Amino acid sequence: MRQTRYQAIADDLRRRIEAGAVGPGRLLPSEAELSADYGASRVTVRRALERLREEGLVESRQGLGWLVASDPLRQTLGRLGTIEAQLTGEGRRSERRVLDFRFTRPPTRVQRWLDADVVLRVRRLNLADGEPFALVTVWCPEALGAELSRADVERSPFYELIGVPLGGATQTIAAGSAGASEAAELGVPEGSPVLRCQRVTRSGDGEVVLVSEHVFPAHLTEFVVEIPHADASIAASGLRLVE
């Protein structure tokens, strides 16, 4: 039986996805771009995409468009760990790419935590199976980062490099949208939903030793909190309303 146009487009997109031309969680070209590529109407292209959605191969997200279906990475907040450990635990290949490495004065929002006039600032891109997963900026007091090199922080987590026994951390998570440079580095449209996390890490004696900010595409990650017992209130622990 002769294929309809939308079936042919769906078959070609399916082959591209199965061949890995577009990785899990990554965006497909827009409907307008696909329409131009295939010389078909947007109605026909949308019907092809709907066919693939029925098969569980693609999904659509408000503010993003069509993307290859994937399970988001679940990050547990009940213990102090690294992105790399979380990715490895999920069976994914982890890679970090340092975008900027410099000693500088910390911004006000960081200086309120770190007792240092000069800090090592490292900005990096974390990748999962070769695809951008998180944009991370870490600030470390000069006294702890003076002997570190760009190669060091590209190879190993700060937790393994600073030589200080760690106590715990406070992590704050909020919803946001991707700015132009963040969108370009994460491979998502400008203005798309992201999760912004600030982590303040302390040594065993309570001194703040690291401040980090993480930006995650919202469709690629979930944060999971284990609640060992139920109190009278069902409100989330640590909930804070912002104006």
Q: How confident is the model at residue 221 (pLDDT cuts 50, 70, 90)?
A: confident
Higher pLDDT, 62 or 241: 62
Please give the full DSSP string across 74-122, using - where no structure is assigned: EEESSS---HHHHHHHTT--EEEEEEEEEEEPPPHHHHTTS--SSEEEE
Backbone phi, psi, residue 164, to 5°: -125, 130
The pLDDT tens digits for 11-67 are 999 999 888 888 777 888 888 999 999 999 999 999 999 999 988 888 888 777 888
C-alpha span between 33 and 9 (Å, rounded): 13
Higher pLDDT, 132 or 221: 132
The pLDDT tens digits for 102-125 are 999 999 999 999 988 999 999 999
The pLDDT tens digits for 130-154 are 888 899 999 999 999 999 999 999 9
Element (H, E) at 10: helix 5-18
The pLDDT tens digits for 164-194 are 999 888 989 999 999 999 999 998 888 888 9
Strand partners, 65: 61
Flag whether pLDDT at 239 surpasses 60.
no
Higher pLDDT, 123 or 242: 123
C-alpha span between 118 and 140 (Å, rounded): 9
Element (H, E) at 63: none
For the chain, give percent helix, strand, coil, nearest 5. 30, 35, 35
Flag whether pLDDT at 232 surpasses 90.
no
Look at residue 243 in the predicted model and tell me its pLDDT: 56
Beta strands 193-203 and 58-61 are unpaired
pTM assigned to the model: 0.75
Q: Does domain 73-224 have CATH number 3.40.1410.10?
A: yes
Look at residue 55 in the predicted model and tell me its pLDDT: 87
- Could you tell me the fold of the domain covering 5-68? Arc Repressor Mutant, subunit A (1.10.10)
C-alpha span between 177 and 189 (Å, rounded): 10
Domain parsing of the chain, residue ranges: 5-68, 73-224
Least confident of 79-88, 89-98, 180-189, 219-228: 79-88
C-alpha span between 243 and 238 (Å, rounded): 16
Look at residue 150 in the predicted model and tell me its pLDDT: 95
